[in-house]
Structure 1
Amino acid sequence: MVRVRGRSVGWVPPLLLLFAVATADANTGGQFRMISWIVLVPGIAAAICGVWGTAVYAVLAVVAYFVVDSAWPHQYQSGLPDFILVAVGGLLATLACALRVRGERRMLHIRDVADTTRRVVLRPLPPGWGGLDHAAVYLAADTEARVGGDFYDIQPGPHGTRVLIGDVQGKGLGAVETAAALLGAFREAGYHEADLDTVAERLETRMMRHRCHTAALGRAEGDRFATAVLIGFPQDAPDAVDIVVFGHEPPLAVGPGGVRQVEVTGGLPLGLAELGSGPPPVRRVSLAADETLLLVTDGVTEARDQRGCFYRHGDDVARAVAADPRVTAPRRLVRLVRDGTLRHCSGRLGDDTTVFAVRRRTDDEQPRRRPGRRAR
């Protein structure tokens, strides 16, 4: 548990304490015996060492007690009661260390399960996936769960590359299950369907089916919904994108010339289509080759400082772009908004937070092969 430059040094504090107690007892008068304090050595080892290390220190404590206590005249010896105290203390410390190690292993297993679940829901995206330069950061409000209701994905296909980002209402495993259902529908419809409005209808249908399923199971999740932004990068329009907004924050277009709000009429969130006239319409908007689309969830827009003021990420991005136009690169843009959000709320996230930036890859960003070498 205690490491310096990658090496475990957890054995050092108990060893120093062992020598300190033994040396102090040897250099104090007979009226002030402190050798019984050596029972603290296996106790400290139980907190920062392994089971075998704690057992070794328990034995060393007993041996050191016997040696140091025997060096004093008979009238100054602590005697058998303190010897039993040190021996029993070492045994209990070893048992406590065994329980601690078992709990740590269980915790690590649960964390691995959570990480696996997150990779299934939010699958890793290869660089340049679908001909897009992209970057994303996801911060779960529940740091122990490590996964929440935010979701995003990129799906290339024969009809162009599609992008989806969204936020499921609520938290917990129910939100994760809903996010997984929507991503599954998007990955299939985004690849097979030629029209983006059909993909939007498929997402709405999947949301309604999922709600019916959870209601049939008796869960109190019948009113769950999800906000989302669906983006299509059409092959026949390299200077434009198609956008469908399901009650979500519209994206920002960030370029060297500044930051602008993408003018898109939003519709109702996924799962609430019965309250309106159907899914929101598809809007085609122009997007320059050097502009990056920046999308965030409400973990960013609803982040508050100590005075209760909301975080205005657009203003931060505009100032950063004015100072350095290179900030428009997706990786730098995502890092800027992430750091600004954490700084604004002092690291106390009230909701799951996702920052996603994407743009078309330019010819200069396309991977190049070295001449004379065959691609694997």
Structure 2
Amino acid sequence: MSAMPLVLGIETSCDETGVGLVRDGQLLGDALASSMDEHARFGGVVPEIAARAHLHALRPMVEHALDRAGVALGDVDAIAVTAGPGLATAVQIGLAAGKAYALALGVPLYGVHHLAGHAAVDVLEHGPLPQRCVALIVSGGHTSLLLLGDLARDPIAHLGDTADDAAGEAFDKVARLLGLPYPGGPAIDRAARTGDPSAVRFPRPLTGPTDPPYRFSFSGLKTAVARHVERHPGPLPVADLAASFQEAVADTLSRKAVAACGDHGVTTLLLVGGVAANSRVRALVAKRCAAAGITLRVPSPRLCTDNGAMIAAVGDLLVHAGATPSRLDLAADPAAVLRGALLHGPGDSNTAVLR
């Protein structure tokens, strides 16, 4: 393998088929296909439709990414692919493709955890992460506060996770209540621009003095919006409700994230995941970090949502750290728990351990 290995990353955990090419912390090229429009009429992602879309899109996306990077497939030194968590059939498509490319090219395979990709992608824009930082990962399926060390070498500590709906799920469900289109996050963000965030004081879940300080819960907030909608006579003030709901989410996320940094003596917060693209979440987290003297790192919105660059970024870190590659019989793990960047293979307790 060359001194500056080229890593091809593949991401198919949900409805985006993402491919990225990273060399030494630099994104050389990427490509993304989304099947979101095919799911919109169902109000959510249909796994079988997503898997079929991945099958059709994966090879063209690899070719587009290679073209944009100005490299050939034969130049690739390692393959990184999401092995979980995600929709079972969707993850399996990407993992099978990753194995095929690794086998055909004779290069190592790294089956990585999807959420580690969200954390790693910021490296591509803002350079190496500090020795310790707190990461707030907010997406359609996940809302977590993590304590990070070296992403490629150290275990990842969960400070708190969501007890029920993730923030992104709540956005989708509330959008449906307000008659807004899928996906709900961007729709609510747009509607909220002309609304009053103080019009309705929706609850801030699990922010009381006796509540778990870093745990999240958005099911009750969603229900509070539903009850308000049910009781409201006449036309709904959609903009005000969208802004008020969005404010409750942003307030809850930012409050807990900044507290976690202070409690753990960490001076850098990493904000990542699809909901990190929300304008109010970004703005309020930035305001509270500045007031607390915390450095905020947040990727460009296009790198917050699922993409191949983030998986290639994890692979790049693992290759440079000398991590042991995954075995080719690595199984997809749709419910993988985030303990480290690499996922274990069957019967191989050392898959995620450095040489």
Fold in common (TM above 0.5): no
Compute the TM-score of the two structures, normalised by the length of structure 1: 0.26
Flag the structure with larger Rg. 1
TM-score (norm 2): 0.27
